[in-house]
Structure 1
Amino acid sequence: MKDFTEGNVSKLIFNFSVPLLLGNVFQSLYSIIDSIIVGRYLGPQALAAVGASYPIIFFIIALVIGIGSGGSIVIAQYFGAKQYDKVKKTADTINIFLLVAGFVVAVSGIFLAKPILRLILLPEELLDDAALFLKIYLGGMIAFFGFNGVISTLRGVGDSKTPLFFLIISTIANIFLDILFIGVFHWGIAGAAWATLLAQLGAFVSAVIYINRTHKIFRFAIKGIKFDREIFRHCMKIGLPSGVQQTFVALGMTAVMGIVNTFGTNVIAAYSTASRIDSLAMMPAMNFSIALSTFVGQNVARGNMDRIRKGLTSTLGMSMVITVIVSLVIIFFGHSMMRMFTTSDEVVRIGGEYLTVVSAFYWMFTIMFVVNGLLRGAGATMVPMLTTLISLWAVRVPAAYLLTKAIGEDGIWWSIPIGWVVGMIGAFAYYKTGKWKGKTVFHRSGIGQSEEAMRGEVEI
């Protein structure tokens, strides 16, 4: 556990971000490894089927994960205020919610997989494979949500190293199982889904055993676990806007996927593959944002507004340096990265064009995400939700549709940075108003300052 209310700001955020970044990189490797092995062993059609499933998976789990992230911020605020009994109650409440939600999502996903894939105009030749992958993958949502509940609790109290350990082990297991099920047992696309499901289940069980043996403040156990309605209300107040945001982001991705699907199998495979590389490239900004949210969550609970300002400045500086490096790597080596997934020259060409366009604008994404991280940590989650929805639904989706009419599939690539610039401006404009100050979801009971004092203390 880490107390962010004292010590060197840059060092604390960096040391927390690195394990967090590595952990999420390994978590992203689930889908990347699936895509590489499927593309190499089973070909472009199977690669397209797997890739088309991921926006659907994101859509189905987005709301639940958003609410779970709200629990992590509430834990950070209670931990910063040293209200450890509330930390335990919040962890219990979120775990109950995530496990129940995991069961509901698993059952619903199994029955709705094929109708949803038809809704986004997936070509008929990809439908059966994509539906099979989706049903098996979603069947493991209880383990997926349970594991995310454990790591969200650990991150809320400042521990980003332990989740990294379990993610590394589960990623290695996923690689082994992918090769075994696809390359040796010849289970086809189902093998990729089963490999991910079993690796996630192993990570969840291992994390529960660890947390029960080492942590005194909170433990994961069926006996004695209690659901606190008031705490869940606090988690919903912070997490629901993020969950709604992520749901509409997922719907937007699904809408864009519907546009992509009209261009055929090669474009579907290229877009899906390049998106895997793209998501990995954006990971540093996303994880510095998560680190800043935890940092702000603890410090806002104690009224340390000047420390929050320093945290934002440091986080922007560190994340922008990494973003520039990543952008240059993608620009110069994007085509080579595509070749890891497929031997199809046409898929490589199309995916390389996507990466060349989008990577030049990662800096916009970085600023947008880091500033939104501060706002979420302070409890002001409504504005990030609104700016994200506007940038996606009012800008990116219409731009993708209109530009494809004029310049073909390249219009999809250009719609992405067009949406980012609107989101970046919206997030930064709200931040400058200072209205996000004093948005904590609980009364500090004498700890820190009043909300009125916080609003007027430091103009950042």
Structure 2
Amino acid sequence: MEQAPNALTKGSVVKALVTFTLPFLLANVLQSLYGAVDLFVVGQYCDAQSVAAVSTGTQVTQIVTSLVTGLTLGGTILIGKYTGMERWDKVKTAIGTTLSIFALVALALTALMLLFEAPLLTLLNTPAESFEATMEYVAICAWGNFFICGYNSLSAVLRGYGDSVRPMYFVGVACVVNILLDFLFVKYVGLGAGGTALATVLSQGVSMAIGIGYLKRKRFLFDFKPASFRIDPAMAKELARVGIPISFQELMVRISFLYLTAVMNHCGVYAAAVVGIGSKYDVFSMLSATSIANALAAITAQNMGAGKPERARKSLWYGLSFALLAACAFWTWAQVSPETMIALFSEDSGVIAAGVPFFRACSYDYIMVAFVFCLNGYLNGRAKTLWTMVSCTFGALCLRIPLVWFVSGHFSQDLGMLGTVAPVVSGIMALYTLLYILWEGKQDGKRKSRALSHR
């Protein structure tokens, strides 16, 4: 049995952060790349209705991705904690429980998506011209939920174990297969929006199968035998306590963005295409922040398990600095030349004209989100997931949705004004989260002082 890398609790803080985060970042870049290629290929070989179908369909499937990501991050934190404690029996039990639960989650999500896709797309004001294509896109993705859950849970297990390199290899395989299948299904076979969904599902299935086969040959801690897939009640309860709040907060954020999608869809096909293209840039511009935040969750979990809270805090401030540098680069591009950003996905003059004011306004969110993601990643690693759940739910339901409603009611045709909502909300969330962390740090100092005085 191989031992965990476990370098996250030792040596230079900066070196540990960089060496763990870089493969994480590259994996996220590759994953986002093959998601963006879906939209790029459809934009090059299909019409605006197909672009809108992929844009809206992606918003729906991201609900599933958000739920899965939240729960898998809970698994990363749980496995990271026991890895930091070097409790290998607990690590193996946590892995078996995590993978088993996700097999059941995949089945449940498939059923729910197939049952409710039509009502949901109706609520989203999906344009009539693209409704049928969007239905096809979502249905194909629903049937592929087992692969999506399996692939993401396998990567989460390895990252909690301290290994961010092999998930990068697995997503690299998925990226290459997805790009090849995108061109095959859309350009040559003519499957349109549904072809991109099929390419995504198949590529993740191939990646998951290769990942399991590779780990079995390398005698990974978990052997993947049927008898090992057991749900330990105590471990499941701990996973639920950590993972469900993260999953719920991701869901609330996604719902608030779905509301924005519904508002934009009401403005027509061009606006629907703009929000879809904008969501792709949201992903790319926030890759550093997302990667660092998820890495911070694993790093913090391991260091808290090893009894090294100061090292976890240092990782937070270094990680936040790196995330801000990357965010500023995308913000500058959006301010200087938003037309070139949009034209990479669609050269339709109507889409570009509608998108320029939206991109310039919304790009301020790239910077604000860097704060929110990194601060929440640190808190998640400390198992303060109840706080992050309340914070994100408040931001989504009490700030973002009411502001979108207000702005759309008074400036319904001004996409620039709609674009300002996201950075305003993220700025408010960043402020109160930072204040909470500073307050919590003072409380920790007081508790430590009292403990020393009683010795």
Report the CA distance between 1:349 and its aligned residue: 2.4
Q: Partner of 1:303: helix, strand, or coil?
A: coil
1:256 maps to: 260
The residue type paired with residue 177 of structure 1 is: L
Deviates more, 1:399-408 or 1:254-263: 399-408
Q: 1:322 aligns with which of 303, 319, 326?
A: 326
Q: 1 CA distance for matches of 2:290 and 2:172?
A: 19
Q: 2:420 aligns with which of 378, 392, 414?
A: 414
Distance 1:188 1:361, change over 3 A: closer
Q: 2:9 aligns with which of 5, 8, 13?
A: 5
Q: Is the 8 A contact 1:274 1:352 kept in 2?
A: no
Per the normalisation by structure 1, the TM-score is: 0.92
The residue type paired with residue 438 of structure 2 is: K
Matched, 1:119 2:119: no
Q: Partner of 1:4: helix, strand, or coil?
A: helix
Report the CA distance between 1:195 and its aligned residue: 0.8
Q: Partner of 1:223: helix, strand, or coil?
A: helix
Report the CA distance between 1:456 and its aligned residue: 6.9
1:210 maps to: 214
1:295 maps to: 299
Distance 1:255 1:310, change over 3 A: same
Report the CA distance between 1:309 and its aligned residue: 2.2
Q: Is the 8 A contact 1:181 1:187 kept in 2?
A: yes
Report the CA distance between 1:40 and its aligned residue: 1.2
Report the CA distance between 1:153 and its aligned residue: 0.5
Identity %: 25
* 1:10-159 matches, cutoff 5 A: 10-159=14-163
The residue type paired with residue 374 of structure 2 is: V
Q: Is the 8 A contact 1:434 1:455 kept in 2?
A: no
Q: 2 CA distance for matches of 1:437 and 1:109?
A: 44
Q: Partner of 2:194: helix, strand, or coil?
A: helix
Q: 1 CA distance for matches of 2:451 and 2:351?
A: 55
1:434 maps to: 440
Q: 2:313 aligns with which of 309, 313, 328?
A: 309
| Unaligned 5+ runs, structure 2 | none
1:189 maps to: 193
The residue type paired with residue 430 of structure 1 is: Y
Distance 1:89 1:136, change over 3 A: same
1:281 maps to: 285
Distance 1:436 1:65, change over 3 A: farther
Q: 2 CA distance for matches of 1:2 and 1:325?
A: 32
Q: 1 CA distance for matches of 2:72 and 2:134?
A: 27
Q: Is the 8 A contact 2:36 2:280 kept in 1?
A: yes
Q: Is the 8 A contact 1:331 1:360 kept in 2?
A: no
The residue type paired with residue 165 of structure 2 is: K
1:442 maps to: none
1:443 maps to: none
Q: Partner of 2:9: helix, strand, or coil?
A: coil
Q: Partner of 1:227: helix, strand, or coil?
A: coil
1:446 maps to: none
Q: Partner of 1:217: helix, strand, or coil?
A: coil
Q: Partner of 1:257: helix, strand, or coil?
A: helix
Q: 2 CA distance for matches of 1:91 and 1:307?
A: 26
Q: 2 CA distance for matches of 1:7 and 1:127?
A: 54
CA offset digits 1:273-319 (Å, max 9, x no partner):
11111211011011111111111101111221221221122112222
Q: Is the 8 A contact 1:143 1:204 kept in 2?
A: yes
Report the CA distance between 1:452 and its aligned residue: 5.9
Q: Is the 8 A contact 1:52 1:268 kept in 2?
A: yes
| Unaligned 5+ runs, structure 1 | 439-450
Q: 1:272 aligns with which of 273, 276, 286?
A: 276
Q: 1 CA distance for matches of 2:314 and 2:69?
A: 29
Q: CA RMSD in A?
A: 1.9
State the aligned residue count. Answer: 445
Q: Is the 8 A contact 2:358 2:415 kept in 1?
A: no
CA offset digits 1:422-460 (Å, max 9, x no partner):
21012111111217988xxxxxxxxxxxx9659979xxx
1:373 maps to: 377
Deviates more, 1:36-45 or 1:324-333: 324-333
* 1:328-407 matches, cutoff 5 A: 328-407=332-411
Q: Partner of 1:144: helix, strand, or coil?
A: helix
Q: 1 CA distance for matches of 2:449 and 2:69?
A: 30
Per the normalisation by structure 2, the TM-score is: 0.93
Q: Partner of 2:346: helix, strand, or coil?
A: coil
Q: Partner of 1:121: helix, strand, or coil?
A: coil
Q: 2 CA distance for matches of 1:452 and 1:93?
A: 34
